[in-house]
């Protein structure tokens, strides 16, 4: 048995790697268009942050977390919807959904494989179709919180940052999860249990560990880490509707962030969804860990079939986005942020406001600070 396991180590399948030819040539025109799109996304993100993110996630939050999240979701959902518009309408990337058709606006824990650095942005394509794009939250590594502008956005949208050391992360994660229990607030909490993106070297290390522990040898995904997943289940089990098991595959080449922005790759993104009721997932940590490993064994086989057949089973569960609605949302964001930009350029008072808000956002992100509602603060005192 041990010999069989050892013989499987090193048989990783990083198919569609980013070493092959691009689907579309990275021409100077595509690079220019990519730079322009990225500048528009950065500028609109900055204006949304300082003028609406601060007011909704700080001022409104002093009075109500629920209304703060509702308002933040509206404005940042409009901005996040620019990304699916870029990918599907401007870059002509085909996003193909398969598996189960899931209901709109459920409260869910979402687990996904982590093939490349851009997997998480394609979850927005699904969330947009389900009316939850403004409510999606990620558990992500803390270094991403230091990204200019984007890190501030992650803080405003209540993403959970982790150091990937459980003794450091557990308290912060459980404190954040405890604030997500209000059933009034839609929630899509996305977790990548592999903990990092897939590479051949990481796969071999994962296989060696699995062989040592007597666990399944996986070829297309890494062995999942269960601590964060189990903590999410433990804290939120009573207020979630389901777990979504999402598997992402790319044709014909695994894209980088720059490939995505410029529209060079991917040609197709395939997203397979399996909906699991909470009652089907064990309550004990050991059994939930075994369930998660089994789920990734299923993903591994699903990806093997995808790489050989070129598609997941049961395609066509979601339709295309409305071009008209995408354009209306784009115009809304551009007009709104253009007005803010105009006043920032020509008003000294707006310049002072923007400077103060930037100082606050930088500090709040660095120290992971969020305001406590006044009513809750008073109750805590007395």
Cis bond upstream, residue 347 (ω within 30): no
CB 57 within 8 A of CB 154: no
Residue 245 parent element (H or E): strand 242-251
Give dist(CA 273, CA 316) in Å, integer: 11
What is the rounded distance in angstroms from the CA atom of residue 82 to the CA atom of residue 141?
24
Are 225 and 308 in contact by the 8 Å Cβ rule? The answer is: no
| Contacts with 312 (C-beta within 8 Å, 6 or more apart), sequence order | 96, 98, 99, 247, 249, 270, 272, 302, 305, 306
User: Token match 């000294």: residue?
Assistant: 348
The whole-number pLDDT of residue 373 equals 84
What distance in Å separates the CA atoms of residue 153 and residue 191, rounded to the nearest whole number?
18
Residue 48: which of 349, 251, 326, 336 has the closest Cα?
A: 336
Q: Are 123 and 131 in contact (CB under 8 A)?
A: no
**pLDDT value, residue 9:** 65
* Residue where the block lists tokens 């956002």: 361
Query: For the chain, percent helix, then strand, then coil, each to nearest 5?
Result: 55, 10, 30
| pTM recorded for the entire structure | 0.91
In the prediction, which pLDDT does 5 show?
53
Packing angle of the helix pair 166-178, 227-236 (nearest 10 deg): 20
Look at residue 365 in the predicted model and tell me its pLDDT: 92
Q: Please, what sign has the CA dihedral across residues 100, 274, 109, 121?
A: negative
C-alpha dihedral sign at 207, 211, 214, 216 = positive
Strand, coil or helix: what is 221? coil
Structural domains of the chain in order of their starting residue, each with its CATH number: 2-41+93-322 (3.40.1130)
> What pLDDT is recorded for position 20?
59
- Rounded to the nearest 10 degrees, what angle do helices 28-47 and 323-346 cross at? 60
Q: What does the angle CA 262 – CA 255 – CA 253 come to, to the nearest 5 degrees?
A: 115
The whole-number mean pLDDT for each consecutive block of 10 residues of the chain, a chain of 382 residues, reads 53 57 79 92 94 92 93 96 94 94 94 93 95 95 87 93 90 94 94 93 94 94 95 94 96 85 88 96 95 97 94 90 96 97 96 96 90 64 49
E strands, 18-142, are 94-99, 108-112, 136-141
At residue 378, the pLDDT reads: 46
Q: What is the pLDDT of residue 334?
A: 97
Residue 134 C-alpha from the chain's centroid: 11
163-173 b/e (C-beta count within 10 Å ≥ 16 → b): eeeeeebeeeb
Contact 161, 145 (CB under 8 A): yes
Of 183, 61, 69, give the one whose Cα is nearest residue 136. 69
Length of the chain: 382
């Amino acid at each position: 048995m041990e010999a069989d396991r050892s013989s499987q180590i090193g048989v990783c399948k990083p198919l569609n790697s980013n070493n092959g030819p691009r689907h579309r040539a990275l021409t100077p025109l595509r690079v220019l268009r990519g730079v322009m799109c990225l500048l528009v996304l950065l500028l609109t993100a900055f204006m949304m942050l300082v003028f609406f993110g601060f007011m909704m996630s700080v001022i409104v939050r002093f009075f109500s977390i629920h209304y703060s999240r509702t308002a933040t979701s509206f404005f940042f959902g409009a901005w996040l919807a620019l990304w699916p518009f870029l990918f599907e309408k401007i870059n002509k990337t085909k996003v193909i959904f398969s598996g189960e058709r899931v209901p709109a606006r459920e409260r869910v824990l979402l687990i996904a494989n982590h093939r490349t650095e851009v997997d998480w942005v394609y979850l927005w394509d699904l969330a947009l179709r389900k009316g939850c794009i403004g409510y999606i939250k990620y558990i992500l590594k803390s270094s991403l919180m230091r990204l200019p502008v984007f890190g501030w956005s992650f803080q405003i949208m209540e993403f959970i940052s982790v150091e990937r050391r459980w003794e450091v992360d557990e308290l912060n994660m459980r404190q954040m999860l405890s604030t997500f229990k209000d059933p009034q607030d839609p929630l899509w909490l996305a977790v990548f249990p592999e903990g990092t993106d897939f590479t051949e070297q990481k796969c071999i290390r994962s296989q060696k560990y699995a062989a040592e522990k007597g666990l399944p040898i996986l070829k297309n995904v890494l062995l999942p880490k269960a601590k964060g997943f189990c903590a999410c289940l433990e804290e939120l089990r009573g207020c979630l509707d389901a777990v979504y098991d999402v598997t992402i595959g790319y044709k014909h080449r695994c894209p980088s962030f720059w490939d995505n922005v410029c529209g060079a790759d991917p040609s197709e993104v395939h997203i397979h969804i399996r909906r699991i009721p909470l009652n089907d997932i064990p309550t004990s940590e050991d059994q939930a860990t075994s369930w998660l490993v089994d789920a990734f064994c299923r993903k591994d086989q699903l990806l093997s079939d995808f790489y050989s057949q070129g598609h997941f089973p049961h395609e066509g569960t979601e339709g295309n986005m409305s071009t008209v609605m995408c354009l209306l949302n784009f115009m809304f964001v551009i007009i709104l942020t253009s007005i803010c930009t105009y006043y920032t350029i020509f008003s000294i008072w707006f310049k002072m406001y923007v400077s103060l808000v930037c100082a606050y956002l930088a500090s709040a992100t660095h120290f992971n600070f969020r305001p406590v509602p006044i009513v809750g603060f008073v109750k805590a005192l007395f």
